[in-house]
Structure 1
């Protein structure tokens, strides 16, 4: 083991991290060759497992630059479980992958503590993961983070485009800022084209840049899942890379389009600043960022106000942002409705 340590890999540090993760997650079974999850089918008539995998992207470079790692794990879980939720499934368990050049136990513990917090917010269980120490692969304190989530749904209750109708209402659930998309452009505007400090606060923003950019992605499971179970939500779009145009289009049937009334919801100040500083067109803005909506749910008109009220009661900020119209899977964002 001394030879391996001289080559840059500290096995004992890895063992210590596994013990720390066991304590953080309160799961003593971690560290086995495979993660176990007891599958209680309960009332599921025709159960379907729904899986999702994702990473955090170059938002990691902001965390590294700021040396703040406690929330990046929440982003990781959110990106996966929100996708699973968008299919109409309940997240069950999660696994993470952390690749590092040199294992810094304190930093790794901060990262995984965020994963544990995210899994808790998703009402799921962390059943395993992998920490890979790879000298020369990652340098200067860099690391990579990826995750994998599995959920369950009744096949008949999976959310489907076939259930959408013309006139259905689109409700937008507020995001927590940038979430985990567009950071290559963010970094280019703020730190390459310009020389902003992470300690600066941009106009209209409550937090300095290091905390503003690292706001963790919202996890919508607790507020949205009960409404899926009640059959009140018809379809969900998780607004990630590609913004509203690409992600909302994914839920539309061939004969419908989505029409948004821009100005009916609040766009975060950080995005308005990025548009101004980077001289971005509205087209760039809407295809790169979530515009302040982390999730869009489609509901039939007769339950729209009830769903909105229930989501608000659960702590969400909800806007009535548009409707479905006859069309061909287009996403139209009308700015003339302000």
Structure 2
């Protein structure tokens, strides 16, 4: 009997439908710099280096992690694409880079356009929030590697910064103030622990009179800080930036500090959202473990001179930013007390 690719588990027609249905979402992100079209073999982007004397390309790649498992369970697929973009662009903006373009990689066991199109729509929305173009990607149907219509998502962002304006943290000192920009919730980290802790909890129940279910609160996408940070950089000298992802404040804040300095953050100053309190109480998780796993309500930390702190807070007022600590001489990396 003659065999076909479809009999082996790969539906080419579904793939063609997927590409056709995402064209409108991709087109929303296009800029005059994009020279290629969806369906080509590669993405083409013309660099506009106006005002940049020494251009340096800055790149970042990441995925969504096991948050996708909740997406399957809750049948919510239009937010993980935003997470994917956010995890990449929030990293590259920490070096002061302006995002230029993005590519995504979506792999699934069985291609269901009704779901995968929603995922790409989320990617498109994330790109729009970041002010960059989605210039290409790949959708792979891989039966036997992924089960059923389970999928995984990863992405790759490229930005540009003037070499003389790269944010390195080298000028951070004991006259530096740390400002926290709030997260929108759990973002896209620690979901293996979240799923383990809440495995017997009703995710469809309303959470804390929010008008949303617990599942919807958990699926709230990662906040994209690009426009807020770039606007701040236009007005205030930013000495350092830390995107608070896996490892929480404990791991990520020290990454921007020069040798001989440590961060001193007041735990009581942190505005910890209720979702983290639920996770901690349900799982009987220590505070140290929470701080070393989750963002605890702070998605981005900005380091500025004390003299510029008031202006920075004013500029970031619409983001709900607030002072969370200071930098001092020391070698402990970070102290949260």
Give TM-score, length-normalised by structure 2: 0.94
- What is the root-mean-square deviation in Å for CA atoms of aligned residues? 1.5
Whether the aligned pair in 2 keeps the contact of 1:179 and 1:215 (CA below 8 Å) is yes
Question: What are the Cα deviations for residues 177-219 of structure 1, in whole angstroms up to 9, with x where unaligned?
Answer: 000001000011110xxx1121123457653111011000000
SS at match of 1:263: helix
Query: Which residue is equivalent to 2:320?
Result: 317
Q: Using the alignment, how far apart are the partners of 1:33 and 1:241 within structure 2?
A: 34
Deviation at 1:137, TM superposition (A): 1.2
Find out whether 1:176 has 2:184 as its counterpart. Answer: yes
Whether the aligned pair in 2 keeps the contact of 1:179 and 1:218 (CA below 8 Å) is yes
> 310, 315, 318: which one pairs with 1:305?
310
Whether the aligned pair in 2 keeps the contact of 1:203 and 1:273 (CA below 8 Å) is no
SS at match of 1:148: strand
Find out whether 1:138 has 2:143 as its counterpart. Answer: no
How many positions carry a matched residue from both structures?
329
> 247, 251, 256: which one pairs with 1:246?
251
Find out whether 1:17 has 2:18 as its counterpart. Answer: yes
Whether the aligned pair in 2 keeps the contact of 1:253 and 1:329 (CA below 8 Å) is no
Q: Describe how 1:1-338 pairs up with structure 2 within 5 A.
A: 3-26=4-27, 29-191=37-199, 195-203=200-208, 207-312=212-317, 315-328=318-331, 330-334=333-337
Whether the aligned pair in 2 keeps the contact of 1:73 and 1:115 (CA below 8 Å) is yes
Inter-CA distance 204–267: structure 2 relative to 1 (3 Å threshold): farther
Q: Using the alignment, how far apart are the partners of 1:307 and 1:154 within structure 2?
A: 22
Q: Using the alignment, how far apart are the partners of 2:37 and 2:195 within structure 1?
A: 40
Question: What are the Cα deviations for residues 3-59 of structure 1, in whole angstroms up to 9, with x where unaligned?
Answer: 111211111221222222221121570111110111011111111000000000000
Structure 1 unaligned residues grouped into runs of 5+ = none
Q: Using the alignment, how far apart are the partners of 1:123 and 1:8 within structure 2?
A: 37
SS at match of 1:295: strand
Question: What are the Cα deviations for residues 62-110 of structure 1, in whole angstroms up to 9, with x where unaligned?
Answer: 0110011011100000000000101110010000000001110110110
Whether the aligned pair in 2 keeps the contact of 1:232 and 1:307 (CA below 8 Å) is no
Q: Using the alignment, how far apart are the partners of 2:42 and 2:67 within structure 1?
A: 29
Q: Using the alignment, how far apart are the partners of 1:86 and 1:138 within structure 2?
A: 34
Q: Using the alignment, how far apart are the partners of 1:218 and 1:283 within structure 2?
A: 24
Q: Using the alignment, how far apart are the partners of 2:236 and 2:166 within structure 1?
A: 10
